[in-house]
Amino acid sequence: MNFEALKPKLKSIISQENLDINHRLTEVCDLLQTQVDTYDWVGFYFKNGDKRELILKAFAGEPTDHTVIPFGKGICGQVAESNQNFVVDDVSAQDNYIACSINVKSEVVIPLFLNGENIGQIDIDSNTKKAFSKEDEDFLAWVNTQVSQQLEA
């Protein structure tokens, strides 16, 4: 799927102010998971208040037991501390990886900022090794910017 073709659809979903933000985020996850071949699981985690943990707010794909992730644990927990994109070409090579499914081969996590603060992230799992490129990173950063603008409004 061409990312440019998805952008208008995503903007339309995210800007539906008559729906609560979690509903919109779930629709974003559903769209990405169904329209991008290598996006087998898509989720949004957000910082849990002042606690050093992330809470899963919306996702598409197989249910996960990892609804709360402490900062520093797994790829998501590392991004919560580093504030940097993290692309994992082969999850089996990561010591600090939390396995959500035995089928997952690669993962990308992009932080979501609001007013300069890392408040969450989008997390994508793929059942294909080396599934993510710089184009995926840029696109997902764009998605997070759209989400952030709605949270700011």
Contact 149, 17 (CB under 8 A): no
pTM of the model: 0.95
Residues contacting residue 52 through CB under 8 Å, at least 6 positions apart? 70, 71, 72, 80
State residue 102's pLDDT score: 82
Token duo for residue 43? 């989720």
Torsion angle defined by CA atoms of residues 126, 58, 100 and 9, in that order, rounded to the nearest 10 degrees: -10
Q: Which CATH number is associated with domain 3-152?
A: 3.30.450.40
**Terminal Cα-to-Cα distance of the chain (whole angstroms):** 30
Task: Flag whether pLDDT at 1 surpasses 90.
Answer: no
Contact 109, 123 (CB under 8 A): yes
- For residue range 54-99, list pLDDT tens digits in order: 999 999 999 999 999 999 999 999 999 999 999 999 988 887 777 6
Digit-coded pLDDT (tens) for 108-124: 999 999 999 999 999 99
Give 3-55 pLDDT, tens digit per residue. 999 999 999 999 998 999 999 999 999 999 999 999 999 999 999 999 999 99
pLDDT-based confidence at residue 153 (cuts at 50, 70, 90): low
Q: Where are the domains of the chain?
A: 3-152
